[in-house]
Structure 1
């Protein structure tokens, strides 16, 4: 039977929340109360990045909405989300959207896609975000606002034509994940001679981002997508697999080419710092509405292909290679901006975005979700100790809910991380950082994300993503009733 964990909202005081952390054996700094900017909050302190100023310590993670046009252009729904990013009060907008470098690399048929012949819609998106920031925080407020565009190829999880059909391109044949996406032979594996064209596509997308006016591009290497998968290509033959040099080669080549062709454009990397085996609901446990507890899909966790994991037990972290990669990107390519995450939303979501309510294709968490949050935060702390001269954005904060600002204030003050990133929370309460910095009652309007996972369940079932429970905009859409039926197992 699936375990039941206490809800974060059930802890009525900071002391009670801290006591729960202690009961789990977790060490995490928690401020007694978050401070406002007027009180000298560390969250309001600026960051320096290669001569540029990032105005505070709040960051918006890339928030793909499955809500573009099928030809790769933005819609009004997408423009609304980007304007909300601008109104958030965050001074670092990381990637905005997962931007497919070419149409066949899309994770869904409505993903924003590079269209070199038509860049004005992308320019309008960025202008709308900055305009909303100025309207919310003043005419000069965009001077310390840094906005990036996340460049991606979805690799194994490509669905460029239909929501229900994978058209996977993979780095190597995977012992577990092949069956999940229908890969049955080597035809889906990228050949070495195809990779120069892929590098060129990344460079072309980066040139467009620079022309449009983005401050940086993120070369996405996380969550099981193509660039992340290459990092675990232990069994891939040739110069793009096998040892550390080979497995990191494609990422380094892409970054090097962008640096060469776009010398004035900053580069960031969102990296899954560690991974674990794919999980599935425990067989025989749960039903159509409530899935079983997550268990590793493979009987053996030895020699499982996971980047940032121990070779003899892939359930355990080993940050040796991730740290070596970050140092190399810093030293050889001048990358000073990293956003650190973990795992994948497709095959082990409990380590990537801990949630009390799992998505429809997920499973009940095999651990208190707070354990997964602290695991990520502590991994970033370890990296920060070794790389004090780079800007690190942390992940896995939304699950802390009312206590998110207490944790954020403390970890930044203690030097565990430079910037606190928020993702799904931005869909329900996009002005929360601004309210915290103004010293307002940020919980009064009851918009705090409760990790219902509707923002994931909807796209998993072919619908647009959004916060259906808490954002009235989505409550009024026809997908609202359809989503209720999906969750009810109908």
Structure 2
């Protein structure tokens, strides 16, 4: 049978929300009253190697499906970046997942390194700045970075929209999913040397375009993340911890050489677990034993126990040694265990019903982030998984920052429907309830079916977009 959980929108009072959290037996920081600037913890500035960020809200990088076939932005891309600026958040973590090789694009309309990239990045950054100024905000304390990525086994780069995976190592479960007809091609050490060079090239262009940091992505099952669990891989980029982190270390060395002064950040999946798939009643079930799963970087065994963060601690120690202080923490992958990565009530078309109350997934990420922040106080840590909190996001965010559980509150899906949530919170305005993301997952279902990125249920612009009717047809067919 399918499972249902109390919807956050139905928890109308702080007492009701706190009672529900208590019934789940999970630790979740919460403050019943949200303060406005300047007293609010969320309004305080924070210094980073990339510059001083004027408040504690961060926009998380998202993967756009609305670029051109050759990897350039369109008006839809530019609109999204302007809205990132209008949000009022002072740390823009990537804005967009920017592929550094064509074969590493997660979709055929993802932004990608090419001959016009520098000019395109200048323009996107300008749109973001204009949006920030239009919201009545200064830009001297606005920190803007660009996320650099290769999608690895989740590459789908061409207009035929067919999966064309490239993996770090053979995986007994995931290989069957992305390539049912045969083995997944493995990237050679020479391929990874070339990828490192492309990451450095993209970082140089980002610096020229005015970005003050780049994110060398290590999360969500994409190539950088997969390399961290490549214990069975032979050669220079696998095996022991030094081999599995070689891509990062080599890339950091190149960036420091060719783009001196450019800060570096890393978005990391701090823990992972076995892939899940639909079971009885469409509820997610693990495809292997979570207790014995050997392919995770930071294994969570599926119990009430905390994830094993020893590998994440080793990685963060390496970042500290490399002089990297910007870290954005997340978990798992949207492709094979989305309920631990981006908790939601409604799954996307290729997903499954959550096997736990999504608040448990939120609390797990917040607790893991707080534990790592406590161990590495010198790092500037961005937390993830906040959108599912919906109406109560500001209350939890304020408590987390006040208690030192994270330095910044990362917002992803929420800014597609409600980009100005940070400004409303900081100015003490009531939340616009009709704009709050309810985790319908249409922003994932649409792109997974070749449609553009956006919030179709709540953003009037996308409600009127032709792809909204196409999305309805896809969901009706499903």
Q: TM-score range by the shorter chain?
A: over 0.9
Cα drift, residue 50 of structure 1: 2.8
Question: Taking structure 1 as the reference length, what is the TM-score of the superposition?
Answer: 0.94
Q: How far apart in 2 are the matches of 1:251 and 1:51? A: 18
Contact in 2 for aligned 1:98/1:152 (Cα 8 Å):
yes
Q: Give the equivalent residue in structure 2 for 1:394.
A: 383
Partners of 1:352 and 1:359 lie apart in 2 by: 13
Cα distance change of structure 1 residues 374 and 312 upon mapping to structure 2, 3 Å threshold: closer
Distance across 1 between alignment mates of 2:330 and 2:256: 23
CA distance in 1, matches of 2:451, 2:50: 42
Query: Closer, same or farther in 2 for the Cα pair 1:72/1:244, shift >3 Å?
Result: same
**Alignment deviations for residues 361-412 of structure 1 (CA, whole Å, 9 cap, x no partner):** 0000000000000000000000011000110000010101110000001110
Partner of 1:59: 58
- SS of aligned partner of 2:381: strand
Comparing 304-313 with 457-466, greater Cα deviation is found at: 304-313
Q: Deviations over 1:158-194 (max 9, x none)?
A: 0110364111111001110001111666671011122
1:249 corresponds, among 232, 246, 249, to 246
**Segments of 4+ in structure 1 off by > 4 A?**
183-187, 310-316
Compute the TM-score of the two structures, normalised by the length of structure 2: 0.97
Separation (CA, whole Å) in 2 of partners of 1:193 and 1:184: 26
1:121 Cα deviation from its structure 2 partner: 2.0
Q: Is the 8 A contact 2:95 2:146 kept in 1?
A: yes
**What does the per-residue CA deviation read over 1:59-85, in whole Å, with 9 as the maximum and x for residues that have no partner?**
000122200011111000000000000
Q: Counterpart in 2 of 1:403?
A: 392
Bigger mean CA deviation after superposition, 421-430 or 313-322: 313-322
**Which ranges of structure 2 fall in alignment gaps of 5 or more residues?**
none
Contact 1:252/1:329 (CA < 8 Å) preserved in 2?
A: no
1:289 match: none
Change (3 A) 1:121 1:439: same
Which whole-Å deviations, capped at 9, do the CAs of 1:134-175 have from their partners, x for residues lacking one? Answer: 12124xx10000000000000001011036411111100111
1:294 and 2:293 correspond: no
Q: In structure 2, what is the Cα distance between the partners aligned to 1:95 and 1:2? A: 36
Aligned equivalent of 1:357: 346
CA RMSD after TM alignment: 1.8
CA–CA distance in structure 2, aligned partners of residues 108 and 443 of structure 1: 32
Q: Tell me: CA distance 1:35–1:300, structure 2 relative to 1, closer, same or farther (3 Å).
A: closer
Greater Cα shift, 313-322 or 184-193: 313-322
Q: Which residue of 1 aligns with 2:448?
A: 460
Question: Aligned residue for 1:266?
Answer: 263
Write the distance in 1 (CA, Å) between the matches of 2:388 and 2:100: 31
Deviates more, 1:380-389 or 1:241-250: 241-250
Aligned to 2:109: 110
Deviation at 1:312, TM superposition (A): 11
Q: Quick check: 1:133 aligned with 2:123? A: no
Match of 1:422 in 2: 411
Distance in 2 (CA, whole Å) between partners of 1:163 and 1:5 is 39
Q: Is the 8 A contact 2:272 2:300 kept in 1?
A: no
Equivalent position SS for 2:139: helix
Provide closer, same or farther for how the CA distance between residues 172 and 311 of structure 1 changes in structure 2, counting only shifts above 3 A.
Answer: farther
Aligned equivalent of 1:147: 144
Report what 1:74 is aligned to: 73
**CA deviation after TM superposition for structure 1 residue 235, in Å:** 1.1
Separation in 1 of the partners of 2:74 and 2:230? 37
SS state at 1:317 partner: coil
Deviation at 1:311, TM superposition (A): 8.9
Task: Select the residue among 207, 211, 215 that pairs with 2:208.
Answer: 211
Structure 1 position 195, deviation (Å): 1.8
Tell me the residue number matched to 2:360.
371
Instruction: Give 2:188's match in structure 1, choosing from 167, 186, 191.
Output: 191
Once residues 310 and 241 of structure 1 are traced to their aligned partners in structure 2, the CA distance between those partners, rounded to angstroms, is 22
Deviations 1:429-473 (A, max 9, x none): 0001101111111135x1000000000000111111210000011
Following the alignment from structure 1 to structure 2, what is the Cα–Cα distance between the partners of residues 133 and 85? 8
Relative to structure 1, the CA distance from residue 118 to residue 419 in structure 2 (aligned partners, 3 Å threshold; closer, same or farther) is closer
| Residue 383 (structure 1) aligned with residue 372 (structure 2) | yes
Aligned partner of 1:158 in structure 2 is 155
The question of whether the paired residues in 2 share the 8 Å contact of 1:276 and 1:315 is answered with: no
Preserved contact between residue 273 and residue 302 of structure 2 (Cα < 8 Å): no
SS at match of 1:269: strand
Q: Write the distance in 2 (CA, Å) between the matches of 1:180 and 1:432.
A: 37
Q: Does the 8 A contact of 2:306 with 2:364 survive in 1?
A: no
- What does residue 331 of structure 2 align with? 342
2:275–2:286 CA contact under 8 A, matched in 1 = yes
Distance, in Å, in 1 between the alignment partners of 2:2 and 2:184 is 40
Q: Is 2:92 aligned against 1:93?
A: yes
Match for residue 438 of structure 2?
450
- Count how many residue pairs are aligned between Structure 1 and Structure 2: 478
